């Protein structure tokens, strides 16, 4: 029999705040964390805005020496992981370390480190490249550093599935606990992609919004949407077997009940126009959960604010939910955070969990012009109070990756 898996700790660093409390407070208030980009020169790019993490001090979470040996994405992961473990009240020691794992992914990894060290090599020669270049750059180092600093000795893994990374990481960690391999896993995603090469690459592919107004640049499901807004941050949750959580007397936010993961097998960047992969991912998650579409109260949509994604996801939801598609509340919190790439699924899982705990569905801001291809029940005029028993979170990534998580209000 599969073991039940629950969420007992949350940690986040986002453009809306450097912890879960401020991030959630600002999200339900409909505030935007998007502004004119400062980590690159906006004059060099067609895109001018980004969702930047503000006033983050890594030394609030680690020694100065350790921080210098980490890329920014790893610093975010360590901070969010420590917050999640502290929130859960989970003590890691030699008695349980071998039963606690870490599964944190990143879509891009240490892009900032790569660019800085390449510049050093070109300007000063290859012998001047830092010996920490590789361990700072590789995507698995967020998971590795969290394991080292917290002393976990269970599974230590990293998922790289582009924008589905955070959701896949949580789903894979859920399965690790469900089958009994570990008792708890610190999991989610982290990303720090606001660099020149990232901006250049996404700009060249015309994926980014060129709207220079930070207040309206990210507008999922709106007919005038013109691309996504890049963001940075981390979203980490502590998953735990129900037996472990009850034994500790832990606060349980929600239960993870379903996970689906599929491939489009269609195109390197574009989603299948019929949303077939997304359909199978959502169906798989619901079947895994033993739930029907009529039992889902809220969907945190992938909702990137790109023309193809938003219409395709809408089409996929209709195909899965049928008549129920027009009843379920849907929002894209990327309208406020921007698209955190590999971290988005982790942060959006937290939004889904908080919606269950607080009975509040966060809004999709900047929605002004209806699109006939996007005609579902989007929450657009501020957050709404709603009893959320079941929440679904979708993530879809370049390469055809589709991932879906289903959370349910905990009932013993």
pTM beyond 0.95, yes or no: yes
Fold of 1-398: Peroxisomal Thiolase; Chain A, domain 1 (3.40.47)
> Strands, E, within 65-114: which ranges?
100-105
N- to C-terminal Cα separation, the chain: 17
The sheet with strand 156-157 has its strands ordered as 156-157, 100-105, 184-191, 233-241, 5-13, 254-263, 401-408, 390-397, 298-300, 329-331
Catalytic residue at 187?
Answer: no
Instruction: Give dist(CA 368, CA 370) in Å, integer.
Output: 6
Q: In 3D, which of 258, 184, 234 has the Cα closest to residue 342? A: 234
Q: Where are the domains of the chain?
A: 1-398
Instruction: Find where tokens 């030394």 sit.
Output: 59
- Tell me the pLDDT of the chain (412 aa) as tens digits: 799 999 999 999 999 999 999 999 999 999 999 999 999 999 999 999 999 999 999 999 999 999 999 999 999 999 999 999 999 999 999 999 999 999 999 999 999 999 999 999 999 999 999 999 999 999 999 999 999 999 999 999 999 999 999 999 999 999 999 999 999 999 999 999 999 999 999 999 999 999 999 999 999 999 999 999 999 999 999 999 999 999 999 999 999 999 999 999 999 988 899 999 999 999 999 999 999 999 999 999 999 999 999 999 999 999 999 999 999 999 999 999 999 999 999 999 999 999 999 999 999 999 999 999 999 999 999 999 999 999 999 999 999 999 999 999 999 8
State the Cα torsion 329-335-339-343 to the nearest 10°.
-50
Residue 283 CB coordination number (10 Å)? 17
3-class DSSP assignment, residue 208: strand
Instruction: Give dist(CA 295, CA 135) in Å, integer.
Output: 45
Which of the following is catalytic: 158, 163, 187, 374?
163
Instruction: Give dist(CA 391, CA 383) in Å, integer.
Output: 15
Q: What are phi and psi of 258, to 5 degrees?
A: -150, 145
């Amino acid at each position: 029999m599969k073991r039940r898996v629950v969420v007992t700790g949350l940690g986040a660093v986002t453009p809306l705040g450097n912890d879960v409390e401020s991030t959630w407070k600002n999200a339900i208030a409909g505030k935007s964390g998007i502004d004119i980009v400062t980590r690159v020169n906006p004059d060099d790019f067609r895109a001018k805005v980004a969702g930047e993490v503000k006033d983050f001090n890594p030394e609030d979470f680690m020694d100065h020496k350790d921080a210098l040996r980490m890329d920014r994405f790893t610093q975010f992961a360590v901070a969010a992981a420590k917050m999640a473990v502290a929130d859960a009240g989970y003590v890691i020691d030699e008695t349980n370390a071998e039963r606690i794992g870490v599964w944190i992914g990143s879509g891009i990894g240490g892009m900032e480190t790569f660019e800085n060290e390449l510049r050093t090599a070109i300007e000063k020669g290859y012998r001047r490249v830092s010996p920490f270049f590789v361990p700072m750059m590789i995507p698995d180092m967020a998971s590795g550093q969290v394991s080292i600093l917290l002393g976990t000795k269970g599974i230590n893994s990293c998922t790289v599935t582009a924008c589905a990374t955070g959701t896949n990481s949580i789903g894979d960690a859920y399965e690790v606990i469900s089958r009994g391999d570990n008792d708890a896993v610190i999991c989610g995603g982290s990303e720090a992609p606001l660099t020149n090469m990232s901006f250049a690459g996404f700009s060249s592919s015309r994926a980014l919004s060129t709207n220079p107004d930070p207040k309206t640049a990210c507008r999922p499901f709106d007919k005038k949407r013109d691309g996504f807004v890049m963001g940075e941050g981390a979203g980490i949750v502590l998953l735990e077997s129900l037996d472990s959580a009850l034994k500790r007397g832990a606060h349980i936010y929600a239960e993870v009940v379903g996970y689906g993961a599929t491939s489009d097998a269609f195109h390197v960047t574009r989603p299948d126009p019929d949303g077939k992969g997304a359909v199978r991912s959502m169906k798989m998650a619901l079947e895994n959960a033993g739930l029907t579409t009529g039992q889902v109260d809220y969907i945190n949509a992938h909702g990137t604010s790109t023309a193809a994604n938003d219409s395709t996801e809408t089409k996929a939801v209709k195909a899965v939910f049928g008549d129920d598609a027009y009843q379920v509340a849907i929002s894209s919190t990327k309208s406020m955070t921007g698209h955190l790439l590999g971290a988005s699924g982790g942060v959006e899982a937290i939004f889904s969990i908080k919606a269950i705990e607080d009975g509040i569905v966060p809004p999709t801001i900047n929605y002004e012009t209806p699109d006939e291809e996007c005609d579902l029940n989007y929450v657009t005029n501020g957050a709404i109070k709603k009893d959320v028993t079941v929440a679904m979170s979708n993530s879809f990534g370049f390469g055809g990756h589709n991932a879906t998580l289903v959370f349910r209000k905990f009932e013993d």
